[in-house]
């Protein structure tokens, strides 16, 4: 067993916000991230850990959408999980046994997801869950998951609130959080050369949390925020907030929102702005608007001054693409590297702690992602552990390090623009955060 060099404590209760995964955006154009079209939810915060019997078999439950608008994303993640598990099992498995995989449909609402969690844990005996996809659903079901002493690792959910959820050290994610996306947005503003910016955001718990992070990142780099304006998530008329944010004639405007209202808010702000047009920076959900024609109707100058940022959810590693039997930019590989990382970290945690007990596995995951001998897949990391060496699992994309909150400390992002049809075009890939 490796030397324990750190333990991750429980998370606080502050800063809870809501977000859903941008399924439509991710499916259509490989953009991932948070969907701001959520205003309220029921958050279960059970913290009493029930005893979990160990039977010597590591079972992974996959909680992903299997129906509805998120089904393509769910299938992509499940396929990656199964390939990753097959590699672990071919390398000898853990605890002398193959890892078993059980699945359940996350659905599109919290009651459905809660029933699925119960099926995975009670009926199927899952020790750990890969998922959920939706941040909104994660905030609604994590209490039940951790309350039963089960580990969860989401390769998709991005909401800032998940960093402070009281998860008893049992929730991790391998996708960059919206806090990192806020830093990426600030970087894009800086690239425009403008040092004054207005911020538009949904006036709900998700939008306010995201806007706070963006404002903090902008201020840290010396950019003046002229106005932070919220808009109602169910608004029909967006002209008021649009006029308010451009009243001081900022040379740049950040627009946060979802694929529907966020895109309409962008168009309203562009129409309210005078000449010369300010630069507009948008978040990941707006990458694939529900009505691309709205963006196509922007005049050429405004469209040329429009950029967005989203997590890079399609793998670029030739090794990973070969394992998946896929080519670059294949939508069927969405969040594949993040899914591989969840599986491999959990399997390595079980191997190192020599148990399928979720709490023992969870206590290892942060340490396994940093500070030891570098390795990129289960087989090579497992060999290091068998040699009683410390492990620094980096994943096949070579970019993984968990912080003490169970979040990744760095992430790959894509900058995108729009063509004359309103279709997104990736023009830059860059990293935000640190892996040191």
Q: Which secondary-structure segment (H or E) carries 60?
A: strand 59-64
How would residue 15 be classed by pLDDT, with cut points 50, 70 and 90? very low
How would residue 51 be classed by pLDDT, with cut points 50, 70 and 90? low
Q: What is the pLDDT of residue 43?
A: 47
* Class of the CATH-defined domain 20-175+315-405: alpha beta
Q: In the chain, which residues fall in CATH 3.40.50.2300? A: 20-175+315-405, 179-308
How would residue 52 be classed by pLDDT, with cut points 50, 70 and 90? low
d(CA 150, CA 148): 6
How would residue 294 be classed by pLDDT, with cut points 50, 70 and 90? confident
Q: Which are the contacts of 193, defined by CB distance < 8 A and separation ≥ 6?
A: none
Mean pLDDT of 340-353: 98
Dihedral, 119, 121, 127, 130 alpha carbons, nearest 10: 50
Lowest mean pLDDT of 7-16, 85-94, 119-128, 258-267, name the range: 7-16
Residues 81, 343 contacting (CB under 8 angstroms): yes
Mean pLDDT of 409-423: 94
Check: pTM over 0.95? Answer yes or no: no
Q: Backbone phi, then psi, for 154, in 5-degree steps?
A: -100, 130
Which of the following CATH numbers is that of domain 179-308: 3.40.50.1780, 3.40.50.2000, 3.40.50.2300, 2.40.10.10?
3.40.50.2300
How would residue 274 be classed by pLDDT, with cut points 50, 70 and 90? confident
Nearest one of 417, 313, 426 to 31, comparing CA atoms: 313
């Amino acid at each position: 067993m490796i030397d324990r060099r750190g333990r991750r404590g429980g998370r606080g209760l502050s800063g809870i916000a809501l977000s859903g995964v941008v399924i439509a955006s991710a499916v259509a154009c490989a953009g991932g991230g948070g969907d701001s079209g959520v205003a309220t939810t029921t958050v279960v915060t059970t913290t009493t850990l029930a005893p979990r019997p160990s039977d010597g078999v590591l079972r992974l439950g996959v909680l992903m959408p299997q129906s509805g608008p998120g089904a393509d994303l769910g299938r992509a993640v499940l396929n990656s999980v199964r390939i990753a598990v097959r590699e672990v099992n071919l390398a000898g498995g853990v605890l002398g046994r193959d890892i078993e995989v059980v699945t359940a449909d996350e659905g599109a609402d919290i009651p459905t997801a809660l029933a699925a969690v119960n099926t995975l844990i009670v009926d199927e005996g899952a020790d750990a869950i890969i998922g959920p996809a939706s941040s909104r659903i994660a905030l609604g079901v994590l209490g039940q998951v951790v309350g039963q002493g089960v580990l969860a690792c989401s390769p998709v959910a991005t909401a800032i609130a998940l960093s402070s959820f009281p998860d008893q050290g049992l929730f991790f994610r391998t996708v960059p959080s919206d806090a990192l996306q806020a830093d990426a947005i600030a970087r894009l503003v800086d690239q425009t050369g403008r040092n004054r910016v207005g911020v538009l955001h949904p006036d709900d718990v998700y939008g306010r949390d995201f806007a706070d992070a963006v404002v903090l990142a902008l201020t840290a780099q010396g950019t003046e925020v002229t106005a932070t304006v919220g808009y109602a998530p169910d608004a029909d008329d967006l002209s008021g907030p649009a006029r308010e944010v451009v009243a001081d004639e900022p040379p740049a405007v950040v627009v946060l929102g979802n694929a529907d209202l966020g895109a309409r808010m962008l168009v309203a702000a562009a129409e309210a702005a005078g000449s010369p047009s300010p630069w507009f920076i948008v978040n990941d959900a707006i990458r694939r608007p529900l009505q691309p024609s709205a963006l196509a109707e922007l005049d050429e100058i405004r469209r040329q001054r429009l950029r967005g940022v989203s997590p890079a959810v399609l793998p670029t590693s030739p090794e990973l693409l070969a394992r998946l039997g896929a080519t670059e930019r294949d939508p069927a590989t969405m969040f594949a590297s993040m899914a591989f990382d969840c599986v491999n970290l959990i399997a390595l945690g079980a191997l190192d702690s020599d148990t399928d007990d979720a709490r023992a596995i969870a206590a290892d995951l942060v340490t396994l992602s940093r500070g030891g001998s570098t390795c990129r897949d289960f087989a090579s990391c497992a060999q290091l552990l068998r040699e009683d060496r410390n492990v620094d699992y980096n994943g096949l994309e070579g970019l993984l390090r968990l912080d003490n909150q169970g979040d990744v400390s760095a992430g790959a992002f894509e900058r995108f623009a729009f063509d004359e049809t309103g279709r997104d075009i990736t023009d830059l890939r860059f990293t935000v955060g640190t892996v040191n």
